[in-house]
Structure 1
Amino acid sequence: MSPSIVNGLPAHVLFVHIVVVLVPLSALALVVCAIWPHLARRLGVLPPVLALVALVSVPLTTQAGEWLEKHVDSSSLVERHAQLGDGLLPWALGLFVLSSALWWAARRTAPGEGDTQGPAIRLTSAPIRTAAVVLSLVVATGSVVDVYRIGDSGAKAAWHDAYSKTTQSQGN
């Protein structure tokens, strides 16, 4: 169960920043590792760990958002944001699974290690490398687009009719 209030603020408005930063960062790391396997070896376990933290943060943020949804006025904008938010978890899971697979494959194909670590997936073979790059691009793009759509709908829900389009005088 996620906390609902952190330091007097709804937890959702704090947790969302983790998702907004880590999901695109994980997507970028995934694509970089898929395109440049030697860089995947150098980055080591960092991309899958980053993707794991992003994956864990998604349901925490969603649960905190569900609590917040019950404590704000209901509107079609809030409902749309909640619906979109429910769709991010599969993308985050895809980022984690692919990052982990690329990390594992990079470990298995490290130069000079031969077959000492068991069967290897050769990321240098054209069909496997192409599939890894294409799948990584699809999952990375889908996750980043989904984060954008969710964030945009959340901003609209939070700020719709909540500010003045003209400057307010400051009582000079």
Structure 2
Amino acid sequence: MKNVFYYETSLGMLGIEDNGFAVIRLGFQMEKFGKNADVYETELIKKTFNQLEEYFCGERTAFNIPLAPEGTAFQKKVWEALRQIPYGETKTYGQVAAAIGNPKACRAVGMANNRNPIGIIIPCHRVIGSNGKLVGYAGGINIKEQLLKIEGAL
């Protein structure tokens, strides 16, 4: 059974969805949330939101939430590499591609980044263009910029 709950944050409306055991979706694109899910604030969803609030205030640099992102094996490999980017640091798509052992897969890494279902906790906002520019963020470049400012990466 899936549950979803929505919160108003300083960055906009945020949705968190779980499967009863782990978070499966988190982000600002509300149209992607709640399909076949009950609107219910579970303890896991509440714990996730509390940790996010601490992060937004600059009081938390890491999360301890069970995650179960749904995707292909390649996407999951990219998402795991994203989780290895330290708080307050950025990497380019090329650096992430090299980290997964496929240095020519920059575009594929970008597509996996775009399909990341658990934004912020799987920190796709820490990936930037090779020229240092903020490019591509499903929640919008403005939110990506704000997240990197919270972390002191800008």
Q: Same fold (TM over 0.5)?
A: no
Q: Which has the higher strand share?
A: 2
Larger Rg: 1
TM-score when scaled to structure 2? 0.24
Q: Which has the higher helix share?
A: 1
TM-score when scaled to structure 1? 0.22
